[in-house]
Amino acid sequence: MTRQVEVRGGSYRDSVGLMQVSRDLRALAGVSSALVAMATELNVDLLVSMGFEQPSGLGPGDMIVAIEADDADAVMRAREALDSALAARPAGTGATDGSADVPPPSIAAAARRTPARLALISTPGRVAAIDAADALGAGLDTMVFSDNVTIEHEVSLKETAAAAGLLLMGPDCGTAVVDGVGLGFANVVRPGPVGIVAASGTGAQHLMSLLDGAGIGVAHCLGVGGRDLSSDVRARSTLVAMDRLDADDEVSTIVVVSKPPASEVAGIVTAHAGRLATATVLGYLGAGQPDLTATAERVAAAAGLTWVPPRRWGGPLPEPRRGFVRGLFVGGTLCDEAMLIAAAELGAVASNIPLEGGRRLDTTLTASGHTFIDFGDDTLTVGRPHPMIDPSLRLERLERELADPTCAVVLLDIVLGLGAHRDPASDIAPLVGRYDTPVVVALVGTRDDPQGLEGQAATLVHAGAVVHASNAAATRDAIAVIQRSST
Amino acid sequence: MTAGHGAGLTVVTAGAQMFADSLRAQGVTTVEVAWSPPVPGTEDALTSVMLDRRRLEANAKALAAMTSAGAALADVRPAHQALDLQPGHFLHAGPPIAWDQMPGPLRGALIGAVVFEGLAATAERAEAQLDAGDFTFEPAHRLGAVGPMAGVVSRSMWMFELHDEVHGHRSWCSLNEGLGKVLRYGAYSPDVIERLRWMRDVLGPALQTATRATGGIDIVAIIAQLVQMGDEGHNRNRAGTLMLLKELLPALIRSGLPTGDIADVVAFISDNDHFFLNLVMPACKLMTVAASGFPGSTVVTTMARNGTDFGIQVSGLGEEWFTGPAQVADGLYLGDYGPDDANPDIGDSAITETAGIGGFAMATAPAIVRLVGGSVSDALATTRRMYDLCVGENPRWALPIMDFRGTPTGIDVTSVLRTGHLPQINTGMAGRVAGVGQVGAGLVSPPMECFESAIGALAAAVPRAASR
């Protein structure tokens, strides 16, 4: 065992740096103890307590270097290490830029870093209300894509938003367009005079697409979540969204798209619309109400613009035949609309999201007569992406229906736009071409959507499908293939 | 909404990355949150508290109170005068604790204090009497006082007395003994007791005379300067100590005290870079007391440790303690000491972080950043992270390196639990064994348990009408 104490004069170092050096020396092989410290009273006591001899004549400007090691070589290595440590620039010096990259751990933290005015939340539904409250607290308009937020939390968030003059879109808001920017699943729209308030994501996408097909642009599409016009939520976000659109000079016509609201809520919305300076169309999709295509036409009229009926691509459909219609949808509102039209013509239909008076499919979703399935329903998206992104479940079902002799015609929707599957037609077309069963497609998309509206239609038509830009028209075309018992 | 189609929209996203990518592809400025789930088990309580309609306004009021509090050194008096401490009654750091639960440093400090008060002739006798339950203890915080490390105060010890004229509060702190073998680190050897006697007989009265002659010293203003001079106010108080001395010197010299005493007092203060810590702490206590008691507020108003438990208090919940096991600091050790020698975190000095300095102002103290085991950029990142945990900033204490941004102020319980990030505290480390004294210094965080139990209590306190 070798001990050595050295005193170095005139080499002041701060205590923290020397503690670090001491620690590094102690970690060297063969070194059992080391103290590198300025010769303060405290450190001299420490030196003695460690069993070293106290050098004489120490002053506070002196540095003590005390090393205990296995042999002289180890002491030498420790002193060399000390020399290089004292000569080296401390690690990290000058590298001050990295700290600017601390990523924001919360929405409020992000809002402090940038002058944002909108938050888009798609965190798990169980905790999404926490993030939404954070965003509203930071003064941001907030879109909550997440579903499974409780209705109590939805009401509380919407009260908070309204009190702060903020717009809460959602929860379960799949689509919005703000200043022409698409949020969530949204279509690429051209600028224009229409402002949409939507309690339905795919309903809003369809309306935007129909207007786009008629050459009519959309300024904003503000989603409010599917429950906003329920008697619990009382249209809280709808009213804020209507006010926002009313205050926007760019908007000449407002349209509210929703399932028919509870009667007292309908009264609230109608009264509110009457107070706006902007012409407002209330497009409630339900039994005895206009379909979305008719609503789009009313919007065009209200805006004083020329209406262009939605396109149809493809050849004639076969003569009416025995069997059933099978509707396979990714959009819940599109499925609803098709069922409303079909039920009026064919009588009650079966579905996993049945209309009032309709038959409910069991959990196996086994077809039963005229059958409509919404593959975007919450129960079918547990543990897998939405069918607008991952088509596999519906493709599997499509093949079964095409091969089913009781199926007279298949009705499909395809929803294009931001966030959706890159090329849905190419997945579907080969199946359509392989079977004789007629297929009618409602193609929801705009001219400028990334998938290419014309290309998608051409692929489907080439495979033998009939394609409509209007879901209502597609449904009527499909129903026409069914031979009625009365005829 | 602006008229420009897509122009100038900036969006914050949390959750699925595909939506952020889609926004970027549309040319929208997009800031993605580095989102992580809230601390497990706190989701429901967090939701209730986040939806509490009182929260934002209550937090704004707490922040305003905290950053507007005054803190003037008004007097220096013995604890029996200032706090009416009775013989055999002692204050300690952190949340309440029984003698048999106390860690070595706190036991050592109490032994020393008993000897210092003349209640026992020897350390052994003092310990026996403490074991026998002859004496009583309570947290200093309960009386509006704070103490570093063990924080033990007995009736003959002299206290700085600070006054907040804005809110009409007072706070107190003992006088700092210096580093190494000192009572607050649990040392009680004869030299420790001897130093305490000199502080009682010479230092305290001299400081009283000088302080009274100055007519009050604005501690908030000195802190505003020290954070621009390389001190963070917790582990580095070199500039603060010199500025205090500057304020006291004329009055000390004019005091008529013996020249030798004045020289001893000046040397004592000059040789102890931590002397001003004991003024920063009560100033921070005044700030946090002012922020306390706003119903619905989720701002932390106390972080304090007794060496066994770490406790926090929250504005909306008054003086209720929420505790968890104190952690051992990560840092550098004196001499041969190592992690096995260190006691878990102890002391009321985390009141500095509670008020937005110390570890929160690490960016402004590059001279001690290696305590972080790191670099200057680490220190900048630390302060930036602390902004993300706080409800606001303190414009009175501006940090030059952060472009004169105010210190991050008002730790939000909900931010801690939502992000899983904990406040950073700069601290000294006491030896585990009674009598050892200081063994090192470093960084430590509160245990998450404190925040978990606080959110439960906050949720239980949400009125039904305020959150549905």
CATH number at residue A393: 3.40.50.261
Is B1 a residue whose pLDDT tops 70?
A: no
Is A52 a residue whose pLDDT tops 80?
A: yes
Candidates A115, A130, A191; nearest CB to B418: A130
Is B467 a residue whose pLDDT tops 70?
A: no
Cα B223 from Cα B236, distance rounded (Å): 12
Distances in Å between the Cα of A253 and the Cα atoms of A246, A299, A305, A442, B18 are 9, 7, 11, 26, 32
Two structure tokens written together for B459: 């949720």
- Residue A121 contacts B, CB cutoff 8 Å: yes
| A282 and A319, same domain (yes or no) | no
For residue A96, what pLDDT band results from cuts at 50, 70 and 90? very low
Closest CA to A5 of A84, A81, A78: A78
DSSP state letters, B179-240: SSS-GGGT--SHHHHHHHHHIIIIIHHHHHHHHHHHT-EEHHHHHHHHTTTT--SSS--HHH
**Of chain B residues 228-287, which have a CB less than 8 A from chain A?**
none
What is the CA angle B255-B260-B261, rounded to 5? 55
Q: Helices B123-131 & B104-116, crossing angle to 10 degrees?
A: 110
When divided into structural domains, chain B yields a total of: 3
Cα A97 from Cα B376, distance rounded (Å): 10
Does a structural domain hold residue B138? yes
Of A254-263, B41-50, B196-205, B218-227, minimum mean pLDDT range: A254-263
- Residue A31 contacts B, CB cutoff 8 Å: no
Does a structural domain hold residue B38? no
Say what the pLDDT of residue A352 is: 96
Distances in Å between the Cα of B79 and the Cα atoms of A133, A154, B26, B274, B306 are 47, 54, 67, 21, 20
Is A152 a residue whose pLDDT tops 70?
A: yes
Domain span including residue B427: 50-67+293-460
For residue B367, what pLDDT band results from cuts at 50, 70 and 90? confident
Is A427 a residue whose pLDDT tops 80?
A: yes
Two structure tokens written together for A75: 């002491």
Contact B468/A182, CB-based, under 8 Å? no
> How crowded is the C-beta side of A34, counted as CA atoms within 13 Å?
27
Say what the pLDDT of residue A485 is: 66
Say what the pLDDT of residue A97 is: 41
| B250 and B363, same domain (yes or no) | no
| B57 and B74, same domain (yes or no) | no
**What value does the mean pLDDT take over residues B74-99?**
98
| B169 and B61, same domain (yes or no) | no
Two structure tokens written together for A81: 């290490």
Say what the pLDDT of residue A89 is: 43
**What value does the mean pLDDT take over residues A269-282?**
97
| A150 and A132, same domain (yes or no) | yes
Does a structural domain hold residue A101? no
| B80 and B222, same domain (yes or no) | yes
For residue A98, what pLDDT band results from cuts at 50, 70 and 90? very low
For residue range B211-231, list pLDDT tens digits in order. 999 999 999 999 999 999 999
Cα B442 from Cα B328, distance rounded (Å): 9
Two structure tokens written together for A373: 């399935």
| A320 and A291, same domain (yes or no) | no
CATH number at residue B248: 3.90.1710.10
Does a structural domain hold residue A94? no
Boundary of a domain, candidates A53, A87, A121: A87
Say what the pLDDT of residue A43 is: 84
- Gap from A371 CA to chain B (nearest CA, Å): 33
| B258 and B351, same domain (yes or no) | no
Does a structural domain hold residue B285? no
| B374 and B455, same domain (yes or no) | yes
Cα A183 from Cα A200, distance rounded (Å): 14
**What value does the mean pLDDT take over residues B191-198?**
97
| A280 and A355, same domain (yes or no) | no
Candidates B14, B367, B468; nearest CB to A123: B14
**Of chain B residues 107-136, which have a CB less than 8 A from chain A?**
none
| A79 and A128, same domain (yes or no) | no
Domain span including residue A344: 312-479
Does a structural domain hold residue B45? no
| A227 and A118, same domain (yes or no) | yes
**What value does the mean pLDDT take over residues A189-193?**
95
Distances in Å between the Cα of B358 and the Cα atoms of A282, A460, B69, B114 are 59, 67, 18, 31
Does a structural domain hold residue B465? no
Terminal Cα distance for chain A, rounded = 111
Does a structural domain hold residue A45? yes
- Gap from A312 CA to chain B (nearest CA, Å): 30
Does a structural domain hold residue B44? no
Contact A120/B376, CB-based, under 8 Å? no
When divided into structural domains, chain A yields a total of: 3
Residues of A in contact with B31 (CB under 8 A): 104, 110, 113-114, 116
> How crowded is the C-beta side of A261, counted as CA atoms within 13 Å?
29
For the entire predicted model, the pTM comes to 0.87
Cα A84 from Cα B27, distance rounded (Å): 51
Closest CA to B156 of B94, B71, B206, B91: B91
Cα B371 from Cα B169, distance rounded (Å): 34
Say what the pLDDT of residue A94 is: 35
Phi, psi (deg, nearest 5) at residue B16: -60, 125
Cα B216 from Cα A137, distance rounded (Å): 40
Is B6 a residue whose pLDDT tops 80?
A: no
- Gap from B376 CA to chain A (nearest CA, Å): 6
**What value does the mean pLDDT take over residues B286-314?**
98
| A180 and A323, same domain (yes or no) | no
Boundary of a domain, candidates B247, B280, B313: B280
Boundary of a domain, candidates B229, B250, B280: B280
- Residue A126 contacts B, CB cutoff 8 Å: yes
**Of chain A residues 37-56, which have a CB less than 8 A from chain B?**
41-42, 45-47, 49-50
Of A96-100, A184-188, A191-195, B239-243, minimum mean pLDDT range: A96-100
Does a structural domain hold residue A53? yes
**Of chain A residues 226-265, which have a CB less than 8 A from chain B?**
244, 247-250
Residues of B in contact with A121 (CB under 8 A): 13-15
Does a structural domain hold residue A103? no
Locate the DSSP E strands across A375-487. Answer: 407-415, 439-444, 466-468
The share of chain B scoring above pLDDT 90, in percent, equals 87
Say what the pLDDT of residue A95 is: 36
Boundary of a domain, candidates A281, A302, A323: A302
**Of chain B residues 317-336, which have a CB less than 8 A from chain A?**
332-336
More confident residue, B357 or A84: B357
DSSP 8-state assignment for residue B83: S
Boundary of a domain, candidates A251, A278, A302: A302
Locate the DSSP E strands across B334-437. Answer: 346-347, 390-399, 405-411, 425-430
Closest CA to A116 of A134, A102, A92: A134
Of A38-47, B49-58, B206-215, minimum mean pLDDT range: A38-47
| A287 and A316, same domain (yes or no) | no
Does a structural domain hold residue B389? yes
Q: Which residue has the tokens 């959990």?
A: A363
| B23 and B58, same domain (yes or no) | no
Two structure tokens written together for B216: 């009050």
- Gap from B80 CA to chain A (nearest CA, Å): 32
The CA R_g of chain A, rounded to the nearest whole Å, is 35
| B63 and B181, same domain (yes or no) | no
Does a structural domain hold residue A402? yes
More confident residue, A268 or B435: A268
Does a structural domain hold residue A107? no
Contact B51/A156, CB-based, under 8 Å? yes
CB B359 within 8 A of CB B426: yes
Does a structural domain hold residue B101? yes
DSSP 8-state assignment for residue B168: T
- Residue A19 contacts B, CB cutoff 8 Å: yes
CB B86 within 8 A of CB B94: no
Does a structural domain hold residue A486? no
Which residues are registered as beta bridge partners of A414? A443
Say what the pLDDT of residue B370 is: 76
CATH number at residue B436: 3.90.1700.10
CB B185 within 8 A of CB B436: yes
Contact B16/A145, CB-based, under 8 Å? yes
Locate the DSSP E strands across A57-193. Answer: 63-69, 118-121, 141-144, 168-169, 175-178, 181-184
Say what the pLDDT of residue B55 is: 97
DSSP 8-state assignment for residue A364: T
Phi, psi (deg, nearest 5) at residue A356: -60, 130
**What value does the mean pLDDT take over residues B58-77?**
98
To test the contact with chain A by mutation, choose from B9, B11, B340 the residue with the greatest count of A C-beta atoms within 10 A, namely: B11
| A321 and A432, same domain (yes or no) | yes
| B90 and B229, same domain (yes or no) | yes
3-state SS class at A158: helix
| B1 and B94, same domain (yes or no) | no
Contact B33/A419, CB-based, under 8 Å? no
| A260 and A317, same domain (yes or no) | no
Residues of B in contact with A110 (CB under 8 A): 12, 14, 31-33
Closest chain A residue to B182 measured between Cα atoms? A42
Closest chain A residue to B34 measured between Cα atoms? A105
For residue range A118-140, list pLDDT tens digits in order. 999 999 888 999 999 999 999 99
| A354 and A270, same domain (yes or no) | no
| Sequence-distant (≥ 6) Cβ neighbours of residue A316 within 8 angstroms | none
| B60 and B75, same domain (yes or no) | no
| B259 and B365, same domain (yes or no) | no
**What value does the mean pLDDT take over residues B279-297?**
98
**Phi-psi region at B222: left, alpha or beta (left = phi > 0; alpha = psi -120 to 50):** alpha
| A332 and A416, same domain (yes or no) | yes
Residues of A in contact with B403 (CB under 8 A): none
Q: How many CB pairs under 8 A join A and B?
A: 236
